[in-house]
Every structure is written in structure tokens, then in C-alpha cells.
Structure 1
Amino acid sequence: MLPCSPWALYPPFVSLFTAAGLWVVYFVAVCDNRIAPLGSNYRRNGSLYSPYISVAGNFPPASCIFSQVMNLAAFLGFILAVLRYNQLKHLMIKPLNISSLVVFSFACFGMTLVGNFQIFTDKMTHNLGTYMTFGLGTLFCWLQSVITLKVNIKNEGRKVGIVRFLLSGIITLCMILYFSLIAQRLHIQASQSQWALAMFFLIFLSTFAIEFRHNRFNIMCTDNSGHPESGTDMFSEMSHCREQL
């Protein structure tokens, strides 16, 4: 048996893939003279938009990359949440674990809205997706921080929990700063806060590698033999978590 499960690579992969994709979108939009660079203090000749993530992904060809990145990130993020749920389902009370899964599932759905409904085309739907992604994503961070302390896997819960509470606080601060700066029409600074918010959130997701290194996840297929099964039982058998020895 390997001392460290290969599944530990999955959370960093999700974070790195999403971060790389978003930065590709940003650089394509900058090179295409659609948005101002993040370090700008002004809009040159009024022709460049502020470098919000959504604005960077609004114009082709960056919009094509943006949609693909957000859809794949939503799918990969949902799988991560399901794996985390299965890792914890026998270690703690169900309501908190299920709540965390449901919250992040809706946050992932919000990512698809952000990616597929450009802000200049359907602002209402796009903004709904933004609120779901950032709002529910932040709630997920706090829930997982509490869960980390409660479960205390391999007696690492306190150390990992402190890191996650710190990241959750930074994410919350970035989100508050983001909306406050928008209200003051400080768009360059607001966009910088938004990028920081997204990157810290991805860093948070990558920390699940710490717990995933202790487990192996296997998909199980069982013969139902014609006997009815409850939805809960079927969901539980979708992914089986086995602890590393």
C-alpha cells in the first residue's frame, strides 16, 4: 500500500487547472485590448474595461475559453465535494456533512451560470451565478473549517482547521472589500479584490489534499437483484472511501 494516496493530487489539480484557465482568459483579454491590466489606475481613453473576471471572459475569443474553464471547474469541484462527503459520512453527524455538500453543489451550479451567461448579454443571470459562487463558496469554506476541527482526521484537525479558518477569514474579507469597492465605483481595486478572492478560494480547495492523502476512493457497482433501494443507499454506493493503512 502506498504511504500517500494518489487522490491527494486531485484537489491541487482542480485548483491549478482553474487558476491557470482564469489567468489565460485574463491575458487573452488584455492582449486583445478588451480590459485594462490589473495594475492600472485608470481606463485608457475610456476604451478599456476594468479587469473583472467576468468582463475578461465576456468577449471572444476569451469568452470561449472562459465558458469551458468554468464548466469543467464546476464539474471537477462537484466531484471534489462528493469525495469529501464520502470521506466524512462515517466520521461525523450527517446534517453538517450533507449541508456542506448541498451548499457547494449549488456553488458549482453558480459557476456554470457565470461561465455560460456573459455579463453584458444576460447580466441578471450572470450576477445570480456570481452571488451563488462567491456567497455559497464562502459558506462552504466556513462549514468545512468547522468540520475539520470536529472530525480531526489523524489528529491533524487542529492544525489544518487553523489554516482553513484563516483562509475563510481572508476570503470573507476579500468578498466584503470587493462589494464595498464596487459601491464606491473603485473598479480597478474592486477587480483586484475579486481576483484575490478567487485565488484564495482555490487555495482553500487545494488544502483537501491533506486529508485525501489518507484515503483511496473506489467506485462500486452492486447487483440490485430486483430489490428496491432507497436514494440514500444508491448515493452511498456511488463512491466508496477506504482509509489508507
Structure 2
Amino acid sequence: MRKCSPWTFLPIMFSLFTAAGLWVVYFIAVEDDKIIPLSSEYKRSGQKSPPYISIAGNAPPASCVFSQVMNMAAFVGFILGVLRYLQLKPRMHRPWMNIGGLVALSLACFGMTLVGNFQLTNDEELHNVGTSMTFGLGTLFCWVQSFITVKVNLRNEGRRADFILMAQGLHMHAARTQWALVMFFLTFLASFAIEFRNYHFEIMCTDYQDPPLSLSETFSEVSEYQSDQL
């Protein structure tokens, strides 16, 4: 029986807890009558706002949960990006694409912190910058990783229109698309578990009196997880 690396569960737990946290924000905002439900029809004359993620997390108490969820998601997302970079590093003949993917995800994670900590009504410009970074660079990261996955094919496992709607005033369709996009993005990151299950990551710590080690030596190269170990 094959034994999976414990790192398998990191992408899955990241996606599940982030998705759950965002839905908690949504239900809090609905319960407080800040937004209308996704299943309802939006009328401009009404007092409630359309259920965009940013609007759901715009006012307390939902904004408090939203900030915490986005900050934690940004931190763990960055860790996932670093592990993915280390996993692909020995297999990439052209490292610029692997480095570019890590940079894109790092900036997207920073954008997530801007979205979570600068609410829409408090600093709309900075909030929108964070939104553009999160969705724009996050989508770029997904495309880069999709190409790398097919190209590198680790262990033969790699091959197994929102803004337009808003401009047209179709806010409910745009809001539903936004929620769907975030869920698909989290599902994509969760799929890293398929390849993480065969890998083992280590961080080595040595005494200061020992000869100094370079960063590349300190972080050990990713070694393939031995399937015959019990």
C-alpha cells in the first residue's frame, strides 16, 4: 500500500478552510441584511447591495472575519507557492517560468492582504488595486502552473467575464461569477495535493559555529517520497 506524504493535506486544507471562511463571511452579511442572497434578484431601488465578496466583507462583524480569512489565506498560499517552486526546481530546464510563477503568486497573496485589510468603503482605490493583483496575478499563476504541470509531468500525473457583466449592470450574474471564480481558484490550488503526496520537504538547521551554508544548501533539495517506506 502506498504511503502519501503529509504535505498532501496542506493544499486541500488550505482550500477547504479558505472557502469555508468566505462563505461564513457571506452568511454573516446576509444575516445582517448587508447584501442580498445570491439566489435573489437585485433591484437598484433597494437598500441592500449585490452580494460581491468585497461588499460582503465590507462592514463589521463580517469584515473582521473577512480580514482574518484573507490574511491567513495569503500566508498559507505563499507557503504553497514556495513548496511548489521547490518541487519543480530540479525538473525545470528553464527556471524563469518557475520563478515567474512564484513571483506572480507572491504578489497575488500580497493583494489578498490589501483586499482583506482595506475595505471597499474605507479605501476603494487601494482595495481595487488588491483585487486586481489577486485575480489578475492569481489567474496568471494558474495558467503558468497548468503549462508547467503538463510540461514536467511529475510521476506521469500531470496529464491525467466578470467585469463585462458589471459594466452591463448585471450585478447578480457578476457576483455569482466572482464567487464561482474564487471557488475554482481554490479548487485548482487544492489539486497540488496530487503531486505533493509523492514529495517530502525538509528545512535543515545547523549550529552557528559550523561552516556557513548557502540558502540553496540550507533548504534541502526536494527528494521523491519513497513509496516502499512503511
TM-score by structure 2 length?
Answer: 0.92
Amino acid corresponding to residue 194 of structure 1 in structure 2:
Q
CA contact (8 A) 2:42 2:171 kept: no
Contact 2:57 2:119 in 1 (8 A): yes
How far apart are residue 241 of structure 1 and its match?
2.4
1:151 Cα deviation from its structure 2 partner: 1.1
**Residue 108 of structure 2: aligned partner:** 107
Structure 2: runs of 5+ lacking an equivalent = none
Residue 242 of structure 1: how far off its partner (Å): 2.3
Moved over 3 A (4+): 222-229
Counterpart residue number, 2:223: 242
Report 1:86-125 matches (<5 A).
86-93=86-93, 94-125=95-126
| Matched positions, count | 225
Q: Greater helix share, 1 or 2?
A: 1
CA apart distance, 1:2? 6.3
What does residue 29 of structure 2 align with? 29
Matches within 5 A, 1:196-235: 196-223=180-207, 225=209, 233-234=214-215
Deviation at 1:157, TM superposition (A): 1.9
Q: Percent identity?
A: 61
Measure the CA separation in 1 of the matches of 2:217 and 2:38. Answer: 45
- Structure 1: any 5+ residue segments left out of the alignment? 160-176
> Is the 1:83–1:239 contact (alpha carbons within 8 Å) kept by the matching residues of 2?
no
Residue 132 of structure 1, CA deviation = 0.3
**Residue 6 of structure 2 corresponds to residue 6 of structure 1:** yes
- What are the Cα deviations for residues 52-73 of structure 1, in whole angstroms up to 9, with x where unaligned? 0000000100000000000000
Could you list the per-position Cα deviations for residues 22-80 of structure 1 after superposition, in whole angstroms to 9, with x for gaps in the alignment? 00000000000000000111238611000000000001000000000000000000000
Q: Displacement, 1:222?
A: 3.3
Q: Which residue of 1 aligns with 2:163?
A: 179
> Deviations for 1:7-26, whole angstroms, at most 9, x for unmatched residues?
10110100001000000000
Please tell me the root mean square deviation across aligned C-alpha atoms, in Å: 1.8
TM-score by length of 1: 0.87
